[in-house]
Chain A
Amino acid sequence: MLIRQEPEGLYCEAGGFYIDPTRGVERALITHAHADHARRGSRHYLCAEPCRALLETRLGKKQSIETLAYGETCLINGLQISFHPAGHVLGSSQIRVSHRDEVWVISGDYKLHPDPTCARFEPVACHHFVSECTFGSPIYQWPSPESQWSRLRQWWQRHQQMGVNSLVLGYSLGKAQRILHACHGMEGPILVHTSIHDCIPAYQAQSIHFPPYQILSTATLRAHDGKALVIAPPSARVEHKLATPEHWEIMGVSGWLMTRTQRRKKGQCHGLIVSDHADWPGLLEAINASQAHTIHLMHGDSRMLEQVLGSEGRQVMRMERSTRKIEPSSEGS
């Protein structure tokens, strides 16, 4: 196989590179800048051009990062490599690897729903499609984002009237910016956690603009107490200024909130069903659009997708992460 799963991540032996490696390697191709895909310690990184600034924010400016524009092709050890929009977050890509007559596409994380903060998913024809299946169950069918933002607007308005602060929890890269962008046209002070603010310049560099906001601090919070919409990552919930439950309503934003059981398990109870991953129809649509004869599934529970694709006569393989222990590397951080 051109690409196989190794303890360090997806490995292309012919090209001598890894895709989203879990530890430091010589050459890493990065689908997007989320921490579980972009890790420190590799010698050379290659990513899509819009991902660069985010990668630098995450990994540091001293890293050796090369970029390709979406659709642009380069050669690595004779293999043709190109990046194509995945619609997950800003700069997220599917990576197309072509060697002789075999074409592989590694989707990384992706979604098909429109998202104004990143380029829309583009189907790429291939023979082997390595797809994520985080939400690989037919129960996951996202409601329209507009309906969810409308809920956000009503929720915030209600709390403004009651003098209660509204805290929205979303990952600091991608989800938080999507929430912030959706606040265009909503009235009231918006406070944003610094970790979210740190990623904003990368968006602005791609001409993605946000409504006015202030950075969350004790002073800004005091100034807008009872009126503010605070956007923060889930980890910020334990910070002192956000932990007093009396004056807060808290909302999560996640695809996992689709079911009541998950909502209870997540602890934040309830929230908006907005995800940066493909839902069940999205997974099927992307897989069909790839025209691939072999589907490799990774991330998440693939059982139901395997059954459905298998019943359609497709070859489906599970790409399991290796559980082999890795010795510490001198390159690793």
Chain B
Amino acid sequence: MKQLEKLFDDLDLVRQVDSRLSILKEYLQSTPPEDLAWTLYFFENRRLSTRAGSAMLKKLLQAQTPWTDRVIEQTYQQVKDLPETLALLLPANEQSCDLSLSSVVVQFLLPLARFSQHARGETIRCAWQTMSTSQRVLFNKMLLGGLRSPVPLELWYRALSRWSGLPEPVVAHRLRQPWKPSATQVINLFKPRPQEDQDLMPYSLAGLGMEVLGPTPIESGSGDTLVALKQGVRAQMIRRKYACELWSETKEPIGMQFPELLAAAHWLPSGTVIEGVIVEQAIAGPTKPKRQKDLGCQMFLAHDLLEHQGQCLMDVAWHKRAHGLTTLLEQWQDTWSRQQTLGGSSEMNPDCIQQEMFHGEVMASEEAGQPHIDFPIQWCERREQWDPAAPSLRLGQESRQWLIKGDQELYPDPSLSVGWRVFYPQARTACLVLKGAIRGDGEGEQAFSDYLFAAQDEQELVWVGQTQDGWSHPELGDLAAWVREHRESQKGPLTTVKPRRRYRVRFLAVRPSARAASGLRLEGLKVLQEIPDPASHAITSLSELKSLIED
């Protein structure tokens, strides 16, 4: 318990990532595995069933102190955290608990669920008596299920990775799997399993690169394809011999959050990695199911094939990757459909327990008269030509973001920050004036967090949007210096400047805003270029922007 207390105490005093990592390293090196198991258990947001609620703890506090309900309530209003309030209101204890974390859990927490109310109260009281105030805070949080890591879990993964020698994604993946908080399990959790670890590893995904403007982003017959990037979670689906996982863009394992997609991934052949977007898909049918998630209505909209039959395809031309993805999805969609028709007993993938579980759910829902569920991995929408006059575009039904992939284009190297060409059908451009900036949390390029833009409203300039998107870091540094130099007034964090600089900007939507004096705000604002000769371009009028407000 003292080690955990010290961990919180030390982490409370530092902000630097390196300092935090060094504290975590010390903790990992000095903590016995059974204690580490419980620490990780709590920090992974798991909770014990203790049957001790806040009302019970308040009563226990009142039995030990002179504090009335009113004092407890007023204190809670100050502290705004019940476990901490209770710990601070208990009589101070010079002693601190020498028991290890695992002993505290085993002696004081695990038995609570099967104790009578009186025995529960006595056990908690005894625990409080042995602990210092900061230990009581931690203990109360364990009791009430609110013990959280004082640093982001990603830092834990990094520290555990350095400590165990396992790659970070592997650490994150293993911690997300079901495991029990015991010394043996935690030792096993961090044992290298080279083949499995290798199979788990995700690719680095390419980001978004140059923005293509204009009504027609691709020439007919150019071989370019537009693939829709729906709003959702960008992810890659991995199915290899020893591994099946969904990884987010930042290489966070998210398979457990999308169990039906993970189950579907098991249907893919080993040695497959697909990139796509996870979206919520409404189920078609006369009646909408009450619990859509239970029926697996999340979809993985694939838009690239990164690995096939164990071969990396990143240096293969796009048209070949696209063809491979089409064949793959058709093949496995057929298998899926057949499986549903047969009732799910014959062609079960033997290496997959989750598939069986998922299949059971599907069958149960069909028996109950629920609609048929499509294979949840599908191609995203693709286009080889673009008609800006298409009715769907005018009605605003198109995806707001499209990637442009050239016929012979290889997968962009993520380390070069090139990324995919991207097209926004709803994007419009305007000429706006830089009117001010909002104070940031640093110096130089971080001196301002956002820059404010104004449109012309008769004789006035009125705020319509803010951004710092579109400038490079050095440009932001120069701009911050210019803003300071040309400051007109300062009100709180807002610096206004003389309206001397005009920019061509793009925006994705115009929304009404009750808070803004202009009555609107521009969404998805990005600076394209500065207009060198301001006199040559008129500032876009507010009325023009108002006419674009979307319902």
Interface presence of B67 (CB below 8 A): yes
Q: Is the CB of B71 within 8 A of A258?
A: no
The 3 closest A-B pairs by CB, nearest first: A139-B88, A270-B12, A261-B80
Distance in Å: Cβ of B495 to nearest Cβ of chain A:
14
Q: Which of B13, B74, B84 contacts A151 (CB 8 A)?
A: B13
Which segment, of A24-32, A181-189, A193-201, A242-250, faces chain B? A242-250
Q: Which residues from chain B contact A151 at a C-beta distance below 8 Å?
A: 9, 13
Q: Is the CB of B13 within 8 A of A261?
A: no
Give complex CA distance A141, B443 in Å: 38
If A164-B19, A260-B81, A307-B68 touch, whether A270 touches B13 (CB-CB below 8 Å) is yes
Interface presence of B415 (CB below 8 A): no
If A269-B12, A271-B13 touch, whether A307 touches B71 (CB-CB below 8 Å) is yes
Q: Which residues 10-35 of B sit at the A interface, judged by CB distance below 8 A? A: 12-16, 18-19, 22
Distance in Å: Cβ of B499 to nearest Cβ of chain A:
27
Interface presence of B70 (CB below 8 A): yes
Give complex CA distance A196, B296 in Å: 64
Q: How many pairs of residues, A versus B, come closer than 8 Å at their CB atoms?
A: 78
Chain A 251-270 interface 0/1 with B at a Cβ cutoff of 8 Å (1 = within): 10000001111010000011
Q: Is the CB of A259 within 8 A of B88?
A: yes
Q: Which of A138, A159, A263 contacts B71 (CB 8 A)?
A: A138
Q: Which of B16, B81, B133 contacts A164 (CB 8 A)?
A: B16
Q: Which residues from chain B contact A245 at a C-beta distance below 8 Å?
A: 15, 441-442
Sample of 7 A–B contacts (CB below 8 Å): A139-B89, A141-B92, A162-B18, A244-B442, A244-B443, A249-B15, A263-B12
Q: Which residues from chain B contact A250 at a C-beta distance below 8 Å?
A: 15
Distance in Å: Cβ of B159 to nearest Cβ of chain A:
15
Chain B 60-102 interface 0/1 with A at a Cβ cutoff of 8 Å (1 = within): 0000001110110011001111001100110010000000000
Q: Which residues from chain A contact B78 at a C-beta distance below 8 Å?
A: 137, 139, 259, 261, 301
Give complex CA distance A219, B74 in Å: 49
Q: Is the CB of B84 within 8 A of A260?
A: yes
Give complex CA distance A157, B75 in Å: 36
Q: Is the CB of A259 within 8 A of B84?
A: yes
Given contacts A139-B78, A307-B70, 13 further A-B contacts (CB under 8 A): A137-B75, A138-B88, A139-B88, A141-B88, A243-B443, A249-B14, A250-B15, A260-B84, A261-B81, A269-B15, A304-B71, A307-B68, A308-B71
Q: Which of A162, A244, A251, A270 contacts B22 (CB 8 A)?
A: A162
For the side of the interface on A, what is the size category? 20 to 34
Q: Is the CB of A138 within 8 A of B443?
A: no
Give complex CA distance A322, B22 in Å: 52
Instruction: Give B contacts to A, CB under 8 Å.
Output: 9, 12-16, 18-19, 22, 66-68, 70-71, 74-75, 78-81, 84-85, 88-89, 92, 133, 441-443
Residue in B13, B67, B79, B84 with the greatest tally of chain A CB atoms within 10 Å:
B13
Chain A residue at minimal CB-CB distance from B79: A259
Give complex CA distance A138, B79 in Å: 11
Interface presence of A240 (CB below 8 A): yes
Give complex CA distance A320, B9 in Å: 38
Interface presence of A303 (CB below 8 A): yes
If A249-B19, A307-B68, A307-B71 touch, whether A155 touches B88 (CB-CB below 8 Å) is no
Q: Which residues from chain B contact A259 at a C-beta distance below 8 Å?
A: 78-79, 81, 84, 88
Give complex CA distance A259, B75 in Å: 11
If A260-B84, A270-B12 touch, whether A158 touches B70 (CB-CB below 8 Å) is no
Q: Is the CB of B19 within 8 A of A158?
A: yes
If A158-B22, A245-B442 touch, whether A139 touches B75 (CB-CB below 8 Å) is yes
Give complex CA distance A66, B250 in Å: 68
Give complex CA distance A155, B22 in Å: 12
Chain B residue at minimal CB-CB distance from A243: B443
Give complex CA distance A251, B68 in Å: 35
Distance in Å: Cβ of A169 to nearest Cβ of chain B:
13
Q: Is the CB of A138 within 8 A of B15?
A: no
Chain A residue at minimal CB-CB distance from B14: A249
Q: Which of A138, A159, A244, A249 contacts B75 (CB 8 A)?
A: A138
Q: Which residues 281-307 of A sit at the B interface, judged by CB distance below 8 A? A: 301, 303-304, 307
Give complex CA distance A249, B14 in Å: 6
Q: Is the CB of A249 within 8 A of B442?
A: no
Give complex CA distance A138, B68 in Å: 12
